[in-house]
Amino acid sequence: MRILIIEDDKNLNRQLQEACVDAGYVVDVAFDGEEGHFLGDTEPYDVVVLDIGLPDKDGLTILEEWRRDGRDMPVLMLTARDRWSDKVSGIDAGADDYVTKPFHIEEVLARLRALIRRSAGLSTSVIECGPVSLDTRTSKVSCEGRHIKLTSHEFRLLSYLMHHQEKVISRTELTEHLYDQDFDKDSNTVEVFVGRIRKKLDVNCIETVRGLGYRLLAPSSDNAE
């Protein structure tokens, strides 16, 4: 899963970035409104952390422009303001959730997990597909009761497929949500990671849809390797 953090306080930006990376996310950051708006407008993100009080362009303006242009990724707004009217303005501008500074990083992480979960139509932190289970809170994966040890990239790829199971996901889309903006998007490493995940799970659940990409399905004898 890929996150954009737009926060002009460099220390807070760094803390959020480190916490999100430790939680298994790919993270891009911006420190002003212009750069943040550009990234959110040109790169695919699963969720955005957006501060209201930004230099160059404020968070409310950014969000209003994104929504007007059809950008529908979930947005968690941050602000030092505690007036209810500011929260109403943020929600009306298109924010999906709101956190007032100061806050605990764990609360932000929990809200991000919830936003990603809801955007995928999921109701709990544990996602299941047949015998495969992924806990978004603990980043643990199991299959048929066995703990499965995955690398960070393998976990991100499986997590994205688990959040979008039964949908065909192209290699390009997977790459865009597995790596930050500086990564070579023409890389063929997605196929390598899929092969490793299949071997570790040892169940037939990741289907190759030839010419289109991959689809995660509950294992059956009809799923193709």
What dotted CATH number matches 126-216?
1.10.10.10
pTM, 2 dp: 0.86
pLDDT value at residue 15:
97
Question: What's the topology of domain 2-119?
Answer: Rossmann fold (3.40.50)
pLDDT digits (tens, 9 = 90+) for 11-61: 999 999 999 999 989 999 999 999 999 999 999 999 999 999 999 999 999
pLDDT value at residue 81:
74
Which residues, in sequence order, are bridge partners of residue 19?
A: none
On average, the pLDDT of the chain sits at 91
pLDDT value at residue 187:
60
- Residues in the chain predicted with pLDDT less than 70, given as ranges, are 182-187, 220-225
Token pair in block for residue 122:
């999921």
pLDDT value at residue 223:
46
pLDDT value at residue 47:
97
pLDDT value at residue 179:
81
Q: Taking the domains of the chain in order of start, what are their residue ranges?
A: 2-119, 126-216
pLDDT value at residue 80:
81
pLDDT digits (tens, 9 = 90+) for 39-48: 999 999 999 9
